[in-house]
Structure 1
Amino acid sequence: MRRLSLIFVISFLLIIPAYAQDGYSLPADLASITPDNAAQLTQLASVGGALPDGLAWSPDGVHLAVGTSENVRVYDVEHTDQPPTSISGSGKVAFDGEKLVNDGQLWDISTGHSLGSVPAAAPEPHYSPSGDIEVLLKESSLHLKHKDGSIRKIAIDDGYPYRDIVFSPDEQYAALILEHTSEWGTTLPIVQLWNIKTGKFISNLPQMLEYIDMVAFHADGAILVTATESDAPYGLSEDLKLWDGRTGLRIELAHYGHLPVRFSPDGRLLAFMTSDGISLWTDHELGQLLFVPYTDSEAFPLVFSPDSRTLATSGNKQILLWDVSGSQVPAAPAKTLKTEFGISNLLFSPDGSLLVSTESGKVAEIWDMKTGTRRARLQTMNYIYTVTFSPDGSLLRSDEFGGSSLSLIWDTTTGEKRLMLPRSALLNDDWSKAAYWDVDGAVRVGDTASSNITELYQIDPYLGRTGVLNSATGRGFFIGNDIRGYDLKNGDLFFQQSINTGYPWIEFNANGSYFLTGRGPIGHGGGEPAVIDLWDSANPDKAINTIKIPDGGDNRYMSLSPDGQFLSQLNTVCGDGGGGNFQLWDAQTGKPIFGMQPGGECGPYDDIFTPDGKYLMVAWDDVIVVTDMKAAVSDPQTEMGLLTASTVDTSLLYRNHIEQIALSPDGTMLAVSISGFNPDPAVTTPDPWIDIVKLSEVLNPGNYTSMPTDTTVRISNATRVTFSPNNAFVLTENGLYDAKTGNLLSAISSKTSAFSPDSKIVITAENDSVQVWDIAALIKGKKMPLTTIAMQNIQELAFNPEGTWLYIRYLGNVQLWGIPPIS
């Protein structure tokens, strides 16, 4: 069911809401929204419903709090026949003991009464492991306050912000983790070693790679371990380093060390992979364990048993169990367990009695450590992402890769599958229950002992989140357990498509005559194609064509030409190896026309067809790729023109790229949003800016090497732009501007906005309200909204072409607002 609410005005003062399930009828004589009547704006209708939000278990696992975008309920899962406790809140939920926390309030879960505001949380103090030293960050120094009241100050360079501190076991030394910005604009770490007792700096630890995942002392502080992630080939990366924990000097390794690195639970041993084995250390290297070649499908799992006596490794489809309880490196494994496939991960149960191996063949095997035998073989639908044991080791959770995004709960004694859940499922502390939001907007709870699943709550109506809105046709989409399209003028359902797999999305062409629906993988990977269906808005009963786009990028960034003939697909990539690419398709036939990868470091970020459909422009790094569509279709090998979009002194920018491109409604002006970066502290990086140029000059082949400067209008400190229908104004996130001169007319802020068709009104959304403005009054300096509508999480604002109603899209609803007739 869907909620379609309509509010009829039967007198000037009395408004009666009504609800219908089969559409609604808006008044035929709605007046245009003007500065004179905008204060009378009233909600006329709404399509949509609540959206799923938070779930939280009470500490005893008996109560489940369920939050939606409109309400909160608390259920007793042991007495599901009893009505829930309703809380006057919405959204995220959490427990503080037996009290519920929601929207800044504490609630009694038995009565639903507020217990007052959540006390303002003081910044949590940061202490050394023993609690004897309190760490305080004050201005440009780190204050280490000891129990005796003495304070040791460590000066920090202003250019290197503080991130964290790691103490040696005796708390005499510490590794400071600071940040600095690389020449590429990436925030990278710096590690410094300090003598805490004396307050003296010892050294910087050089030659760190880009990202630090571990900084840890070992062997009572004698060794400092740093590890970073790296995608270099096995045996070539040097992403693990050892340092003398007292002097900061590098400890040279006989072989390159790399991930994974593991510390034994008792702190005695350190193990890590090397180029030709597994290195085992106490305060010095004990030696190398036998190297076992790996198959292509295997990772490098290392794991210590909870009692620290056994180290489990893998290689060549076998698990090697090493006895590391002594002071010598064992010459051979104590046990060898043969597996069916290459091993990707190993994990001991909390008591060490079981070991699970996840393997490349969508298989997990549970091993009995006492007997060395296989206890159970678990067959999954997809490759396993992670596994987790329950606290008592009786259950195992496996989370899968792939479009299914499943979690499976297994009995570790029998190998029986207890529950099949979405990966978002939330287990209570003892794993007796698992709660989750299902795709149909219902909260269900699974019992891990009986495998029974109970429905606790169903959002009614549930349409899902709002998708794209096309104000030209008055149609909007919702994405839930299927894709649904509604005619917002009457509330009727005009389109419905099931979602079998993948991430769904929708896109209209400019006038709404065509739309596409798609589903496919998010980002790069999965090996799955994106499936795109093209539909005629006037006859959406059958898709015009289906396009399957091979894996290789984030296939959601797509645009349709104004006539619905062409589809532009962007694959956005940013990295030292170059940017991504874009592909042009014939949307009517499903055939590719051409693909392009101009090079550069980042992109593409945005694309737009000109209103007449003659040109396609794609933003890429600091250039705009201009495609003559007629030439491109007749000769796909036609060389594209490159238009440099930056006229700023590029010596100020190490890297700059175009964030957005937008055309004025009449297609005569192009707005280009640009941002950049320079890591040199001596150079001031300019704020983001917007250049507005004449489209005719952009399309002039003589300008294909530089942006025209004599006609460029620049708006500083802005990244988003919306043109008014009469092309006279532009609105950015920080103000209303004259589109011809770039002069600021009024400093109003917005996150999303819309102009009325006659360009006399601009509507903005900021934080928790919608504000309606008279543009003429703003230009005169009168910064007082005509009316304000209280509403949160606003995603889009739009007028219908006649200017008689306003669409407000937020979360799971689209509301229609207008001026009600007076009866």
Structure 2
Amino acid sequence: MSIDPQSRFLSLLSVACATGRCPAMKALTALLILLVLASAIAFADEEAKPEFVIDAGGHTGAVNDIAYSPDGKTIASASEDKTIRIWRAEDGACLRVLRGHRRSVCGVRYHPDGQRLISAGEDGTVRIWNLATGETETLLCPPNCESSFDMSKDGTRIAVGGEGAISVVSLPSGETRELTGHTRPVISLCFSPDGTRLVSTSYDQTARIWDVKTGESLHVLQHPHGVAGASVSSDSRTVVTGCFDGILRIWDIGTGALITQVDLNPWGCRFPLFSVAGDDVFAPAEGLICVSVSKGSLLWKELDKSTMRLALSTDGTALAAGGMKGEVALWDAKSGTRRWTVSGKSSGTRHIAVSPDEKELAFSNAAGTASRVSLVEGTLDSWYATRKLSNTSQWNPITYSPDGHFIAYGTTESPLVLFDSSSGAPVRVFPEVRHEVRAMAFSSDGRALATTDAGGTPSRIWDVETGSLLNTLSGPTDVFLLEFSGDDRFLLSGNWSDATARLWDWHTGNVLATLRDHGRRIRGIAFAPDSQSFATAGTDACVRLYDLPAAKPQKVIKAVRDMHIARDISFSRDGRLIVCQGD
């Protein structure tokens, strides 16, 4: 891989880094280097793309939802980049970009008249767009508009979901009914084609079937783990759910009884979608999979890990897909042949790790590669870029051991590997870690490694020298933040679904404190250098400080004006300052 155009610029920057007397200059230099490298390395070692790839006009963030127009001529995609894009179904040409949402767009649907588009955003708004003009006709602000969205087939109702509650809004009156019952955030919503039922899925390990007219919860479908998505058959008689345990389950929508299930491991399943005939199910997970419900057999698969959301054409022959890297693709639903792909531009850096001696950086990106750069010489170690990461989604954690001898991250061969930071040779594999790692942290003495993964297991502590399991922290399975205190007495974890931070005595596995002060989601955790306090950041746009070991609240720092989310916090070395990134 050649990075000649960047190397000259990196050389100049490295001189500034090596000779800079000010720590702030070094930090700024490192940031500039990362910005250059993010563009140089992204997608450099991806597997061969399909024959027909359109490389312009793509999203710059993950695609959260996708929809087919009633006439089958266009496709709409909603993205984390705050935009909605309209694509020509025939060839993938981008026809229009709709801008207006201030935050990530979580859902999009065409109105049955084909002249309007309805979108929901994490900014708390629902917008009704005039497709002829590209302008917003109506702006609604229903409660619970945060993370999930759907519209009834006749266009008379929309549903939005958030931190456990759902709002069903009648159109055009705006009359709203709130549905309560879930105890954790709602992940997805799906109206039955006849409009009488609404199916919701949640991190609380349930899917619920609601009576749309009365708001009554008719059936609670229990699962062993969080439920990612659901789809209702065209005759409105059955519902399929995709659980984080990798099993598709088919239920009778009238009785709530389990009819059958299909184990899709090792691929798993996220947001399943019934075919028009209801005989097959499409499931994006560790690839795009089509299975026969009646036979329980695999019809076709495409191992593209980035696929997240699906939409079928009205006649059921074409399948539109949106992915974590911002791409939009069109498939032949019967054969699994890809017709076209619009590549996204969401290939930026996901995680950054600084070596203990501050001479190099290791980072991972959304393209699924890890790389290392010398901050002294401005050179790139290519061996990192040649190993595909185990995950091409938002996680891709990577970290140095405290002594700088190891770098830990996952590959396609193993979800967790220790590499020698000098030679790049693999040193240790953790075979008991079988799923993509979401978060990891070394203890300060480098002897222990804490991990959490996507396999539905609690956080675990590993012996770095032997690879053996030291302890399992019984608790939530969707932890995505981990950090040891400097004195190695404590471990702090951040949980996605129930908006909690937990303080652990990791030696015994005991929970010392459970903190829910942010109300919604935890987005950052950090211990102070002296191990006498710690801080959390969340979607309430606040940083909260606690003492140790009692975890008693000390101070609440409100974010600056117009910041909606506080995240990715860090203490300065002397503990006097806290740096916080926000949206």
Smaller-chain TM-score range? 0.3 to 0.5
- Larger-Rg structure: 1
Normalised to the residue count of structure 1, the TM-score between the two structures is 0.35
TM-score norm. by structure 2 comes to 0.46
